[in-house]
Amino acid sequence: MAGRDARRRRREAGMVTAETAVVLPVLLVVLAGAVAAVTVLAAHLRCVDAAREGARAAARGEDEAVVVALARRAAPGGAEVTVGAGAEEVVVRVAVEVEPLGPAPLRVPVVAEAVAVREPGG
């Protein structure tokens, strides 16, 4: 009886190893996806903040070069900032391509816009 239990335990230990070998790659893919999602979300939040910062400055009547500089300072690296001005409002758009998995050939475009009404005398 003792020999049977020992053999069964060894066989079950082998099954656990096989199950781990199958599940581990799936867990790594899920982890990489979660990291990529967090990276893209963080870049989007930075673009939103940068667009808002630029729109506030433009609404106050700041020069376009100052608006672009303020927005670029808050945006992720390599972001493109554009300023559109109407009679009553200004629109600032911040766009960047994010590589959420580092050297992997995956690029995700992230865009944010903010609109602000011009302040009187601005």
1-56 pLDDT, tens digit each: 556 666 666 666 667 777 888 889 999 999 999 999 999 999 999 999 999 999 99
SS3 label, residue 97: strand
Residue 88: inside a domain, yes or no? yes
Residue 104 has pLDDT above 60, yes or no: yes
User: If 0-12 CB within 10 Å is exposed, 13-18 middle and 19+ buried, where does residue 25 land?
Assistant: exposed
Residue 97: inside a domain, yes or no? yes
Residue 12: inside a domain, yes or no? yes
Higher-pLDDT residue of 91 and 20 is 91
Rounded distance, CA 25 to CA 22, Å? 7
Share of the chain above pLDDT 90, in %: 68
Strands across the sheet containing 89-98: 80-85, 89-98, 108-117
Higher-pLDDT residue of 105 and 51 is 51
Residue 43: inside a domain, yes or no? yes
Per-residue pLDDT band at 95 (split at 50, 70, 90): very high
Question: What size, in residues, is the chain?
Answer: 122
pTM of the model: 0.78
Residue 122: inside a domain, yes or no? no
Residue 74: inside a domain, yes or no? yes
Residue 103: inside a domain, yes or no? yes
Q: How many domains does the chain have?
A: 1
> Is residue 50 a contact partner of residue 81, using CB atoms and an 8 Å limit?
yes
Per-residue pLDDT band at 106 (split at 50, 70, 90): confident
Q: Which domain holds residue 44?
A: 2-117
Rounded distance, CA 122 to CA 60, Å? 5
CB contact set of 32 (below 8 Å; sequence gap of 6+): 101
SS3 label, residue 1: coil
108-120 pLDDT tens trace? 999 999 999 998 8
Mean pLDDT along residues 89-106: 91
Residue 28: inside a domain, yes or no? yes
